[in-house]
Amino acid sequence: MDAEFWHQRWQKGETAFHEGQVNRLLEQHFQALNLPVGSRVFLPLCGKTRDIAWLLDKGYQVVGAELSELAVKELFAGLGLTPVVIEKENYRHYQAAQIDILVGDIFQLRQADIGRVDAIYDRAALVALPEIMRADYARQLIELGQTAPQLIITYEYAQHEMPGPPFAIPAAEVQQHYALLYGIHEQVRQVLQGGLKGKTSATEVLWLLTPL
Ligand SMILES: C[S@@+](CC[C@H](N)C(=O)[O-])C[C@H]1O[C@@H](n2cnc3c(N)ncnc32)[C@H](O)[C@@H]1O
């Protein structure tokens, strides 16, 4: 799953992962983070998710990281915002009131690029990456977010039934990546209605990670 894979997906419009509406687990469980209004929420691998509109509407600030400039242009168009675009050495910064989106490879970003993070919301980000990349991703997220609390949505299913993304992430793997620095709380565990891509039955899990 290299950069080219994702650029192709966006260029061809093969973006079934894009929900087009607010994620219901976000809506129902965001309050578990107990964040004051005005807090800054980091969305790694954010695409053009409508969850950003929901967070802004609730009075939160948003910082996102996304490889595809096409996705980010569509994100701002969907928000009805005209961003200021600032060229940086390792990314392109799209900025408007209460929102900063860093267009580039998340692995090339530094903590100072991201700035303050009060919480992390990981939907279709950890699960978008193959196993070989996930430990590096988790470490990078810890570095960029400075162990801010996290909400993570994962899927559990028999990986041999379908190639990812999204990939299956067993509970033990969440522990492996984050248990040293976070308390790990299973908030929701439910059967995913209709399965994944109609190819396999799957369980959807919402994790709340609180810094130790
Ligand atoms: C499965 S999509 C999920 C998008 C979004 N989180 C959502 O819920 O709709 C994964 C996204 O990660 C982006 N991406 C993949 N690898 C990346 C990387 N190394 N750095 C930044 N973004 C990346 C892709 O372009 C894609 O938009």
pLDDT digits (tens, 9 = 90+) for 97-132: 999 999 999 999 999 999 999 999 999 999 999 999
Give the whole-angstrom CA distance, residue 193 versus residue 30: 21
Give the whole-angstrom CA distance, residue 98 versus residue 189: 32
Which residue carries 């976000």 as its tokens? Answer: 26
Q: Ligand 1 center to residue 187 CA distance, Å?
A: 24
Which residue carries 């675009």 as its tokens? Answer: 85
The pLDDT value recorded for residue 197 is 87
Q: Ligand 1 center to residue 46 CA distance, Å?
A: 6
Nearest CA to ligand 1 atom 3: 124
Please tell me which residue, 207 or 193, carries the higher pLDDT value. 207
Residue range 169-190, pLDDT digits in tens: 999 999 999 999 999 999 999 9
Residue range 122-172, pLDDT digits in tens: 999 999 999 999 999 999 999 999 999 999 999 999 999 999 999 999 999
Q: Ligand 1 center to residue 98 CA distance, Å?
A: 21
Domain annotation for the chain: domains and CATH numbers: 3-211 (3.40.50.150)
Looking at residue 171, the DSSP 8-state letter turns out to be H
Predicted model pTM? 0.98
Q: Is the CB of 140 under 6 A from ligand 1?
A: no
Report the residue among 45, 75, 129 best suited for mutation to probe ligand 1: largest number of ligand atoms under 8 A from its CB: 45
